[in-house]
Amino acid sequence: MKRAIFPGTFDPFTIGHYSIVNRGLELFDEIVIGIGSNQSKKTLFSVEKRMEMIRQAFENEPRVKIESYNSLTVDFAEKVNARFILRGLRSVGDFEYERTIGDTNHILTGIETVILCTYSTYAHISSTVARDLISYGKDITGFLPPNVKL
Ligand code: ADP
């Protein structure tokens, strides 16, 4: 069984994240979405709320599991018996960051990172912009997966 984790902050989980997971399901039998809950990182949405939103998005997809973790990402992968880390790429800016982390994780544990380039329709979608829009009272339905309500 090929299992991958899709780790991230998901504050909030966007349609860009949703697309990466759906495409990942073509490659892996099961994907565990891991909500990193680093204590020092201040988030707009609580872990519980982020979990609920992701649950809504995948309520008809039993191959997607959702967990939160506050350890090193590779330790989380090991804990859930995943041999792959799935990540998404929007831009060259993302690339350098993902490459460094992916290399480090591989050197530490041999785990492989699989990176999918986003479809250009979603390249502008980011949790940061979604949070900014929310702070100005704007509707961000277009940034969210279908069926997800804030
Ligand atoms: P992190 O804090 O780990 O970067 P994020 O929640 O911001 O967590 O992102 C999780 C993963 O999803 C990262 O690999 C990021 O590059 C990817 N991602 C974010 N937005 C998009 C998008 N619009 N399209 C594709 N991938 C995305």
Rounded Cα distance, 62 and 58, in Å: 8
The verdict on whether 19 is a catalytic residue reads no
CB 65 within 8 A of CB 48: no
- From 41, 120, 135, 149, the catalytic residue: 41
Going from the C-alpha of 54 to that of each of 24, 40, 48, 96, the distances in angstroms are 15, 22, 10, 27
Average pLDDT, the chain: 96
Which protein residues touch ligand 1 with a CB less than 6 Å away? 8-10, 14, 16-17, 20, 87-90, 94, 118, 122, 125-127
| CATH superfamily, with its number, for domain 3-143 | HUPs (3.40.50.620)
The verdict on whether 106 is a catalytic residue reads no
Question: Is the model's pLDDT at 141 over the cut of 80?
Answer: yes
Determine how many CB atoms are found less than 10 A away from the CB of residue 91: 12
What DSSP string runs through 79-139? HTT--EEEEEE-SHHHHHHHHHHHHHHHHHH-PEEEEEEPPGGGTT--HHHHHHHHHTT--
Rounded Cα distance, 55 and 148, in Å: 9
Rounded Cα distance, 139 and 8, in Å: 23
Question: Is the model's pLDDT at 39 over the cut of 80?
Answer: no
For 80-136, the pLDDT digits (tens) are 999 999 999 999 999 999 999 999 999 999 999 999 999 999 999 999 999 999 999
| Closest CA to ligand 1's atom 12 | 88
Q: If DSSP codes are grouped into helix, strand and coil, which group holds residue 20?
A: helix
pLDDT band at 51 (very low <50, low <70, confident <90, very high): very high
Rounded Cα distance, 48 and 99, in Å: 30
C-alpha 37 to ligand 1 mean position (Å): 15
The verdict on whether 41 is a catalytic residue reads yes
Q: What is the mean pLDDT of residues 49-75?
A: 97
Q: Where are the domains of the chain?
A: 3-143
Determine how many CB atoms are found less than 10 A away from the CB of residue 34: 24
- From 55, 63, 83, 90, the catalytic residue: 90
